[in-house]
Chain A
Amino acid sequence: MEPLTSKKKVLVQKPLTFAERIYLPAITKGLSITMSHFFKKEATIRYPEVQREMSINWRGMHSLKRDENGKERCTACGLCALSCPAEAITMIAAERKPEEKDLYREEKYAAVYEINMLRCIFCGLCEEACPKEAIYLDGPIVPSDYLRKDFIYGKDKLVEQPLEKK
């Protein structure tokens, strides 16, 4: 059959030349290549001690923010849970009591706020949905653990540390 294009190339396997048959030139070439790698800088990062620098829009563990007075910003509107494509967020809202005025910014707050880190896909949609700028994915890599239940992070792990009292 006539070839349809002019690019057809017939592969001919030539018999090995003498230099190829005694292996030695190829072996010395290979050895010099591996030896050049011996002196190259290694690509490994010693992870727990040395952390790789992440890009500025990198999304890590969530944190629930406080405002400038140290009050929790979250008002338990549920938009983050609604926007979450992985359905990782659950919350229970509660009404603020008068004596809790310093703890929560709005009258309504999240009594329970849980994120299942095994479900979370770190898409950042909760961050975008939040009208109160209360949740950001600005934390470190979520650490490993042994049990599934330990991956459901509650407010104890998610809320920012309170501001230092002056």
Chain B
Amino acid sequence: MDITFVIEKFVLVAVIFGISLVIAMYSTYAERKVAAFLQDRLGPDRAGPFGILQPLADGLKMFMKEEIIPSNANKWLFMVGPGLAMLTACIGTAVIPWGSAITLGSRVIPLQVTDINVGVLYIFGVVSLGVYGVMIGGWASNNKYSLLSAIRAASQNISYEVAMGLSIIALLLVTNTMSLKEIVDQQHGWHWNVIYQPVGFLLFMVCSFAETNRAPFDLPECETELIGGYHTEYSSMKLGFYLFAEYINMFVSSAVMATLYFGGYNYPGMDWVLLHTGPVIGPLIGTVVLFIKIFAFIFFFMWVRWTIPRFRYDQLMHLGWKMLIPLAIANVIITGIVIAIVEKF
């Protein structure tokens, strides 16, 4: 392992980390703008031109707020909670291939921090870890409402992870690999997995809405009815971290959806573009395409939030266990049968 390799990876990690933070920051702004436009309003437009500095103002406000730790709270875990939420939100980006490899001189730089052969499993593990931030935060607050909300959030996440895992199994039957890089490369051009796995994609998307605690599955933190949810006792930047982690989660799950089902950095006509733009610009165009897909998904997340009312808790569980899981199992079986038939003949 030479020193340039370390520098290269370090720069890549820093860039990805920075980009995901900036995107999460501007997701808060985009959310308010999208909400406003969907409701025939203007949204924030006072801080800077078109309100473009609004996230900075919000961040500053969060920092200036008084930091309150409840006197009977478990101080250590109370502080660990938001940090853990933030950490698990950020590390998911490590295995996502952000573009095909750049060739600089004789050096080939892959635009992926690490291409582990169990990439899908890693993403899945990180997503399941995310529930710890919520659970620890809710428990350490020493508040009954927080604890109940945390339990509610945990049971929701665990329920939907089952259906999510089953929908991924159907995808893995098609791709025959768990490495995200290989999955993306198989979707060259327009051979996107969503064409082969439309039901699987739908299941995965619904589950990722539930996993990121986004509407219509935002029971863990519905502001009005259930007193804020697991972060009731949180204030200042700790609360900011929880809210921020949600937006990073949204970004990461959008990236995962784009990677697994919508071809990642692949787009129709990419061979022609690669041939004509060279080994540096070409892959970067692919990265831009990936980000366009991600932004489209983030917009869809917001669009859905301002359209669909929240599920009741029993409806949530009914949907998760009695509808999504049987559908996911059926999807696995049918995919398996079809693949067996195709391979036979």
Contact = CB atoms under 8 A, between A and B. Distances in A.
A27 B40 CA distance: 20
B307 A40 contact: no
A31 B303 contact: yes
B41 A44 contact: yes
| Max chain B Cβ within 10 angstroms of own Cβ: one of A27, A35, A37 | A37
A18 to B, nearest CB: 12
B306 A34 contact: yes
Interface in A19-37: 22, 27, 30-31, 33-35, 37
Interface string B13-49: 0000000000000000000001011111110010000
A145 interface: no
Contacts of B40: 37, 40-43
A46 B46 CA distance: 10
A27 B307 contact: yes
Given A30-B308, A31-B304, A44 B37 contact: no
Contacts of B307: 27, 30-31, 33-34
Contacts of B308: 27, 30
B203 to A, nearest CB: 12
Contacts of A27: 304, 307-308
A146 interface: no
Nearest to A30: B307
Interface in A126-146: none
Contacts of A40: 40
B303 A46 contact: no
Given A30-B308, A34-B303, A34-B307, A43 B41 contact: yes
A87 B171 CA distance: 77
A35 B45 CA distance: 21
A16 to B, nearest CB: 11
Interface in B153-196: none
Contact of A42 (B34, B36, B303, B323): B36
A22 to B, nearest CB: 8
Interface of A: 22, 27, 30-31, 33-35, 37-38, 40-44, 46
26 contacts: A22-B323, A27-B304, A27-B308, A31-B303, A31-B304, A31-B307, A34-B38, A34-B303, A34-B306, A34-B307, A35-B38, A35-B303, A37-B37, A37-B39, A37-B40, A38-B37, A40-B40, A41-B40, A42-B37, A42-B40, A42-B41, A42-B42, A43-B41, A44-B41, A44-B42, A46-B45
Interface of B: 34, 36-42, 45, 303-304, 306-308, 323
Closest 5 A/B residue pairs (Cβ) = A44-B42, A34-B307, A30-B307, A34-B38, A38-B37
Given A27-B308, A30-B307, 18 more contacts: A27-B304, A30-B308, A31-B303, A31-B307, A34-B38, A34-B307, A35-B38, A35-B303, A37-B37, A37-B38, A37-B40, A38-B34, A41-B40, A42-B37, A42-B40, A43-B40, A44-B42, A46-B42
